[in-house]
Amino acid sequence: MEIFLQRLALGGYAFSTLLAFGSLLARRKGFFALAPIAAGAGFVAHLGAFTITFQHLQAAQGSAIRNVLSALALMAVAIYLYGYMRYRLHVLGIFMLPLALLLFLFSGWLLPESVVVAPAYNQPLLRLHIAVSTLGVGALFLTFTFSVMYLVQEKALKQKRPVSFFLPLPSLSACDRVLYVSLMIGFGLLTIGLALAAVWSANMRGTFDIWQSQREILALVSWVIFGVVLYARLVTGWRGRKMAFLTIAGFAAVMLRLIGGPFL
């Protein structure tokens, strides 16, 4: 049943992504109207498969990074569906659906089976660290998406020509506001997650040093980037292109740590 649901979810995500980009290329809004239906069907199937996986995870007392990626894919689709139903923000599909599809592929098929956390490491504190950090990355999905939207919208306004998307983008002020708020939330959750990881490391290893691999170093790099951006925003009122570019760089480091981490 789990495999069947995963295949349904993959089909729904892939089809909704094709509809979103097909609508963009063909400039037909009708395709965009179908994308949420396909994404919603994929989301329901994915949620069912994830629930079954989580039950097995509880029974086996083990965890894997594939489950984190699967949860992030669910969050990306949930953000898209909420944005569509609440604000009719069709353009979110251009960003969220490919991201969800990529995460889902890596979680189910592309990661090696051996990437599993040892049961001895499966402590409540570590689980809390993973949960909080996952929510933080989910918030950063919005930060990344609205950073890209800001850059596209700003370029169009400077060149005094319509945006290449035939669907309307949010205003610069709206993009900046969502970017800032989501970054505040994401950075705060990542900070709590890092603190929990340090406490867990002290309990397990007798040291607060959690920077023992390239994956942890990437996590630190992304945290520093986001911290610098927020500091500059709060202290100097820094905003605009520089903030958008740096947040995209920080998000790239986060994704490299998540997807590329097991291979490093």
pLDDT digit string, tens, across residues 20-43 = 888 877 777 667 789 999 999 999
pLDDT digits (tens, 9 = 90+) for 174-220: 999 999 999 999 999 999 999 998 888 777 766 655 566 677 777 88
Torsion sign (Cα): 255, 108, 82, 14: positive
Q: Would you say 218 and 212 are in contact if contact means Cβ atoms under 8 Å apart?
A: no
Q: What is the pLDDT of residue 63?
A: 55
Separation of alpha carbons 165 and 25, rounded Å = 9
pLDDT digits (tens, 9 = 90+) for 66-113: 888 999 999 999 999 999 999 888 889 999 999 999 999 988 776 555
How much of the chain, in percent, has pLDDT values that exceed 90? 49
pLDDT above 60: residue 120: no
Residue 50 one-letter amino acid: F
What is the mean pLDDT of the segment spanning 145-170?
Answer: 80
CATH (one of 1.10.287, 1.20.120, 3.50.4, 2.60.40) for 1-120:
1.20.120
Q: Give domain limits for the chain.
A: 1-120, 123-264
Q: What are phi and psi of 163, to 5 degrees?
A: -65, 145
